[in-house]
Amino acid sequence: MGILFERQAGVYWAEIREQEENSSEGKFRAVFLHPLDYTGWPVYHHGTYKLEASMENITKTTKNDTRQKILRAAAQIINTKGVLALTLEAVAKEAKISKGGLFYHFATKDDLMKGMNDFIMHNFFDDLERITKDDPRHNGKWTRAYTNLTFNLLDSEFEMNLAFLSAIATSPDLVKSMARDLKVLQNHIENDQINPIVSTVIRLAVDGMYFNQLYGLNLNEDVRDQVLNYLLSLTEEEK
């Protein structure tokens, strides 16, 4: 999707990524702005819609998109060819970008692996915090959030997670980093205002579901839904 907007210096083209949620002005975030040497603050009005963007924001959005494209390319290589096939050259080819473009984001293979860890864990914990804040029931909210989010990952970001788990076996530092993050999670689980043994058993069951799919032993949808609902029902008990 794109729109045209005019400035004194000429006509520019902005490719639109998405409309901001809950925006009364109908603001958009732009991904690309041409020409590349443009500087300033474009403003476009069309009916009730308004585009406001700066080169700083546009550049940041574009960088994030490229970064995710690289990470998904790395995951594709690991999942289809194995960890040993993961090289920066192979990732650049899979992502269809230049080596220089790849090196801008990840100078080494270790940087790339750390980027996968940051992408997965930061997004996961951001989503956890968002879900817990939206949960009107205080008791068991972290356990519920972890359960729902992990089950959702079985359908959405599973390929990225599968690749990362395959790759961290060769990186003790990433294993330690992931363990630190999971200790933080376990602390929330154990202090979730429900029986800590129950909440821990739920977490272990959820982890089991995750690794069950990791090994290709997928449950049928009806059974999986019943397991999910049963685990969630256990979070309703007060401590």
Can you give the CATH number for the domain in which 208 is found? 1.10.357
Q: How many structural domains compose the chain?
A: 3
> Are 127 and 81 in the same domain?
no
Give phi and psi for 197, each to the nearest 5.
-70, -40
Q: What does the pLDDT average to over 160-172?
A: 72
- Could you list the residue range(s) of the whole structural domain that residue 21 is in? 2-53
Distance of CA 99 to the CA centre of its chain: 24
pLDDT digit string (tens) for 72-91?
888 788 878 877 788 899 98
115, 178: one domain: yes
- Cα dihedral 150, 203, 133, 27, rounded to 10, equals -10
- pTM, two decimal places: 0.64
The 10 Å CB-count burial string (b at 16+, else e) for 110-132 is: eebbbbbbebbbeebeeebeebb
- Evaluate whether 109 touches 71 at the Cβ level (below 8 Å): no
Distance separating alpha carbons of residues 175 and 170, to the nearest angstrom: 9
Is 158 found in the same domain as 67?
no
Are 137 and 219 members of one domain? yes
Both structure tokens of 81: 């060819």
| Alpha carbon distance 99, 63 (integer Å) | 15
**Do the domain assignments include residue 49?**
yes
> In terms of domains, do 182 and 83 share one?
no
For residues 95 and 114, membership in a common domain is answered with no
- The 3 state secondary structure assigned to 87-106 is CHHHHHHHHCCCHHHHHHHC
How far apart CA 167 and CA 161 sit, in angstroms, is: 10
The verdict on 83 and 133 lying in the same domain is no
- Of 10-24, 31-45, 123-137, 169-183, which range is least confident? 31-45
Token couple for 116: 């996968």
Strand partners, 102: none
pLDDT reported for residue 190? 96
21, 34: one domain: yes
The most confident of 7-11, 93-97, 229-233, by mean pLDDT: 229-233
Which comes out higher in pLDDT, residue 1 or 68? 68
Q: Are 209 and 227 part of one and the same domain?
A: yes
Residue 64: per-residue pLDDT: 61
* Residue 50: alpha-carbon gap to chain centroid: 28
pLDDT tens digits, 213-223? 877 788 898 99
Looking at the fold, whether 96 and 189 belong to one and the same domain comes out as: no
Give me 115's structure tokens.
Answer: 């980027």
Instruction: Indicate if 70 and 152 belong to the same structural domain.
Output: no
